[in-house]
A and B are shown apart, each in its own frame.
Chain A
């Protein structure tokens, strides 16, 4: 746990943090609004006192009530991993600005997150499905995805319709699902 990192982050992003900075084991976690992501990330990357120059991971999370995008960053200035949680996207139309301007390598990770959760990264110039077939209509890692239900509508079911790119509302209707306070 790097206490000084916590102070530095609080001092710098105080008003943009939507929750307290949390620290556990070797991880420091901050929460921001999705719209702030490019700005905050650019500061984290460019500021030499922070210097988070490696994007270790980009993950989507469906908490059951809303959507998150979680970034893990590494910097030589701190022994901690920094976890940035872009929180509070609505499940029916999750949108977040892209990170590809800062880390072009985030492109595929964003594609994967789009493919699995239907989170739309605005500004990503190649937001296609990456794993699932192009005519797939649902988003498998959402909490309301049920395999048996969805398989009937998959290409194996004989329906080959074009993908409706920006239509996460077409996903399987809600059923009882797990939620978490994440």
Chain B
């Protein structure tokens, strides 16, 4: 194989280079000619504009997101998110893992809400295998899933404040999250990457420790939630930083493929739990809160909507506890699964939106192809739309309000 010598990029480490001539070496411009129309447009600077490379090491890019901002003073003219710093090749890994093994591969995708990352693939595998999941297992899935949603949204609340410069709320959020995570650890054995759902049910029934922790928490969950909420919602600075920033209208939200709280905050009541019911959600009573006015939702709407959702989740948890049927928590299945060749798609409503899995089976014990659709990935596209014309500081407010998790985005 012949290798062509690439044009040498002037490096800052090279002592032969005079910096005065090569100041451009410090720009965020890639060292190759633009490959696409969009890239050419972005990397040409207008009058008075400059690039600001934000990330992958930056205090508030939620992990390892890199965003190249084109700024004019404090104003963001355009921006170009650069992904891939956390890419693990999960889809390729899934093609070489058997069906049981895959569940644990997917946990670290959205490490804030791992149960949902297990739920969708497990549902898809069950379709491939035509397995009927016991009702008790379904109820346990809903119960733990909603707990995980509350934990995720609680953390969002603190993050939002942290990205706006408030130091304290994140620690209050972690208290609430920690209680839930400890509770889930009591039945799953893990605090973060639970690996709890199984094809045909869940791994282990509810136990005493979980129930006592849950009862303890439920007795004060709404009060605690209200206290955390009041801390922020009555704060004038906090509200003013978010009101009117990053306005996302209904039509754009639909066209951009946005899902989850972000689209509901724009006024579209799209929630897979009602739009395409799965598990036992049809039997449960809860509302799909929506926000947004004048045909759009801003950062504040997205923030408030998540708080509304927590209240609905608490309702669901309450009903699950009251309606929990007796019975087994696993369907009888062989250890080695060889589904017939076929295709299946399953989607769940994760805290950040539609989490879907498309599986193709070729009759072996490993899927032939496994596509993971992560909501954060699609939602993150919105930053390009919502941030143009805002200030650098608003970049944080908007990005935090979209609540991306880089583990899921980079897969």
Give A contacts to B, CB under 8 Å: 24-27, 29, 53-57, 59-62, 70, 72, 74, 76, 79, 81, 83, 102-109, 112, 116, 125-135, 140-141, 145, 147, 153, 159-163, 165, 178-182
Report 6 cross-chain contacts, Cβ distance below 8 Å, ordered by A residue.
A57-B345, A130-B83, A132-B84, A162-B6, A180-B368, A180-B369
Query: Which residues of chain B in 104-132 are interfacial with respect to chain A, using CB atoms and an 8 Å cutoff?
Result: 127
List the 4 closest A-B pairs by CB distance, nearest first.
Answer: A105-B257, A126-B38, A59-B371, A105-B256
**Which residue in chain A gives the minimum CB-CB distance to B343?**
A182
Which of the four size classes fits the interface of chain B?
35 or more
Residues of chain B within 8 A (CB-CB) of A61 are 360, 369, 371
Are the CB atoms of B356 and A56 closer together than 8 Å? yes
Are the CB atoms of A72 and B84 closer together than 8 Å? no
B355 to chain A, nearest CB (A): 10
Judge whether B58 is part of the interface by a CB distance below 8 angstroms.
no
Q: Known contacts being A125-B37, A128-B35, A181-B341, is A133 close to B257, with CB within 8 Å? A: no
Instruction: Give bound CA distance, A29 to B39, whole Å.
Output: 36
Q: Known contacts being A57-B345, A83-B343, A163-B35, is A182 close to B369, with CB within 8 Å? A: yes
Judge whether B91 is part of the interface by a CB distance below 8 angstroms.
yes
Residues of chain A within 8 A (CB-CB) of B195 are none
Are the CB atoms of A127 and B410 closer together than 8 Å? no
Query: Which residues of chain B in 1-35 are interfacial with respect to chain A, using CB atoms and an 8 Å cutoff?
Result: 1, 3-4, 6, 30, 32, 35
A53 to chain B, nearest CB (A): 6
Instruction: Give bound CA distance, A61 to B367, whole Å.
Output: 12
Judge whether B179 is part of the interface by a CB distance below 8 angstroms.
no
* Majority SS at the chain B contact face: mixed
Q: Known contacts being A25-B344, A161-B4, is A125 close to B127, with CB within 8 Å? A: no
With beta carbons under 8 angstroms apart, the residue of B36, B91, B377 that contacts A141 is B91
* Majority SS at the chain A contact face: loop
Given contacts A108-B381, A178-B362, A180-B362, 16 further A-B contacts (CB under 8 A): A54-B254, A54-B257, A57-B356, A59-B358, A61-B360, A72-B347, A72-B356, A104-B256, A107-B381, A125-B38, A128-B38, A131-B411, A132-B84, A135-B32, A141-B92, A163-B32
Are the CB atoms of A56 and B347 closer together than 8 Å? yes
Residues of chain A within 8 A (CB-CB) of B358 are 57, 59, 70, 72
Could you say which of A54, A81, A104, A161 has the most chain B C-beta atoms within 10 Å of its C-beta?
A: A54
With beta carbons under 8 angstroms apart, the residue of A108, A116, A179 that contacts B91 is A116
Residues of chain B within 8 A (CB-CB) of A112 are 377
Instruction: Give bound CA distance, A162 to B8, whole Å.
Output: 11
Residues of chain B within 8 A (CB-CB) of A140 are 89, 92
Are the CB atoms of B378 and A76 closer together than 8 Å? no
